[in-house]
Amino acid sequence: DVKVTQSSRYLVKRTGEKVFLECVQDMDHENMFWYRQDPGLGLRLIYFSYDVKMKEKGDIPEGYSVSREKKERFSLILESASTNQTSMYLCASSSSGARGQTGELFFGEGSRLTVL
């Protein structure tokens, strides 16, 4: 059964803390994505990566960075967490295939982050 696994389902952090969100996929997909989901705003793309060590900014990259050292793993880093980063974070992966970066996305179960 193909899977995207996010390391933490629920996290509570304090303002100013460094936060790591880890994501691993077992489908040998080239592309990986980080989204955040907020009520009334839908899913917004933070960063994506189409290859190891490659990364591209999405629509809301401010306050975030990412790391992709291995094909199966894509990490989202909040260098100094703030309360407005309280959200549901969703990792996804896709193969490149004929559709380039936007083949069907497979999502993880999400990480609910609360910043106090």
Partner 1 sequence: DQQVKQNSPSLSVQEGRISILNCDYTNSMFDYFLWYKKYPAEGPTFLISISSIKDKNEDGRFTVFLNKSAKHLSLHIVPSQPGDSAVYFCAASSGKLIFGQGTELSVKP
Find the shortest distance in angstroms from Cβ 35 to partner 1.
8
Under the criterion CB under 8 A, does residue 24 sit at the interface with partner 1?
Answer: no
Tell me the C-alpha distance between 26 and 71, whole Å.
Answer: 10
By beta-carbon proximity to partner 1, the closer residue of 19 and 36 is: 36
Tell me the C-alpha distance between 7 and 5, whole Å.
Answer: 6
Taking the mean position of all CA atoms in its chain, how far away is CA 12?
17
Under the criterion CB under 8 A, does residue 58 sit at the interface with partner 1?
Answer: yes
What is the number of other CB atoms lying within 10 angstroms of the CB of residue 89? 24
Name which position in 43, 52, 60, 77 contacts partner 1 (CB under 8 A).
43
Under the criterion CB under 8 A, does residue 98 sit at the interface with partner 1?
Answer: no
By beta-carbon proximity to partner 1, the closer residue of 17 and 44 is: 44
- Binding residues (CB under 8 A) for partner 1: these are 4, 9, 35, 40-45, 48, 58-59, 90, 92, 99-102, 104-110
